[in-house]
Amino acid sequence: MRLVRGSALLLAILLLTQLAALAQVKDSRLEAAQRADEAWLALVDGAKYAESWKAASAPFQAAVSQQKWVEAITAVRPPLGKLVSRRLVSATYSTALPGVPDGEYEVLIYDTVFEHKQLAHETIIAVLEKDAVWRVAGYYIK
């Protein structure tokens, strides 16, 4: 009976250790994606639109030319005014998203306040590229 309890306890400790390790991997993955997103958003917030295109992922660049990106973001961001605040409200990890190849993605949603827009929702899709660097693959604001 003691052997069974001891084995069960050992199994429980191993399981908890594995769960803790998985949680750390998830947290570090999210932190890395969030850092990449926020660095990219700083370029957009600073009206460095061409630089934001250059810093984006290969799929982002393949989907829209630098010129078209600059034109599109110039039509959207300046009317909102300066950034007042941005708060991460959700982060979801996925290996499959509609319309893109399977891979590692983090979908991050921010509640954002701008000078001329009380509340906006920014959605950023970050992808882990082949060089093991997270980069922005999609940006949506409403």
Strand 117-128 relative to strand 134-141, pairing: antiparallel
Q: CA 111 → CA 89, 108, 122, 124, 141, distances in Å?
A: 7, 10, 7, 12, 10
Direct distance between the N- and C-terminal alpha carbons of the chain, in angstroms, rounded to an integer: 61
The total of structural domains in the chain comes to: 1
- Structural domain for 63, as ranges: 2-141
Per residue in 99-125, pLDDT (tens digit) is 888 999 999 999 999 999 999 999 999
The per-residue pLDDT for 131 is 94
Examine the pLDDT at 22 and tell me if it is beyond 60. no
> d(Cα 120, Cα 7) in Å, to the nearest integer?
53
Laid out side by side, the sheet with 105-114 consists of 83-94, 105-114, 117-128, 134-141
- List the CATH number of the domain containing 78: 3.10.450.100
Does residue 26 register a pLDDT over 60? no
Q: Per-residue pLDDT tens for 32-89?
A: 989 999 999 999 999 999 999 999 999 999 999 999 999 999 999 999 999 999 999 9
pTM: predicted TM-score of the whole model, two decimal places: 0.79
